[in-house]
């Protein structure tokens, strides 16, 4: 396993639409292992492959609290089959938009389908923080960042703040 660099705004690669994965093989599992290690080190709760410069439809996630055992999840070629009409606001942040947090309104519940770490087809329902996180990460696969859900002014301020912090580092 290896730590990978997380791309931050305004890097144009974050706007790429990720390509579907052909097969879940050892090469892909090694990528997912690297992604998970990178996410934990950041630290974060979700990471899409495009955030480390690999525009493939792959997401890793771990929603376990600090005092709980790690519970890594892997999502290959995820798709949302159904979204609830009712929505819920949630304060989101993103490893590609460091130190910026804002409220985003998303469907409260979704049904998704994906391939897991072993290439098995899974369908499951998500709600709460799981629903928020999977939608946030799936947005990355379409080249959408959480700040794209904000007003133009808030988005521009967020990008300017990240650029300024990067120059100071």
Positions marked catalytic: 137
Q: Find the farthest-apart pair of alpha carbons in the chain and give their distance in angstroms, rounded.
A: 45
Question: For residues 108 and 51, what is the distance between their CA atoms, to the nearest angstrom?
Answer: 25
**3 state DSSP class of 43:** coil
How far is Cα of residue 3 from the mean position of the Cα atoms in its chain?
17
Residue in the block written with tokens 């002014």 = 153
Q: What share of the chain is helix, strand, coil (3-state, %, to 5)?
A: 35, 30, 35
Nearest to 9 by CA among 136, 158, 169: 158
**3 state DSSP class of 119:** coil
């Amino acid at each position: 396993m290896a730590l990978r660099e997380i791309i931050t705004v305004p890097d144009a690669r974050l706007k790429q639409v990720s390509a579907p994965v052909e097969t879940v093989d050892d090469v892909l599992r090694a990528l997912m292992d690297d992604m998970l290690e990178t996410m934990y080190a950041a630290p974060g709760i979700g990471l899409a492959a495009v955030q480390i410069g690999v525009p493939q439809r792959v997401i890793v996630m771990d929603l376990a609290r600090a005092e709980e055992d790690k519970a890594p999840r892997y999502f290959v070629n995820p798709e949302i089959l159904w979204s609830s009409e009712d929505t819920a606001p949630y304060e989101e942040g993103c490893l590609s938009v460091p130190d910026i947090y804002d409220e985003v309104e998303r469907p409260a519940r979704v049904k998704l389908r994906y391939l897991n770490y072993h290439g098995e087809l899974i369908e499951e329902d998500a709600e709460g923080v799981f629903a928020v996180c999977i939608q946030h990460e799936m947005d990355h696969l379409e080249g959408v960042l959480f700040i794209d859900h904000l007003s133009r002014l808030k988005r521009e301020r967020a990008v300017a703040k990240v650029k300024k912090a990067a120059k100071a580092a």
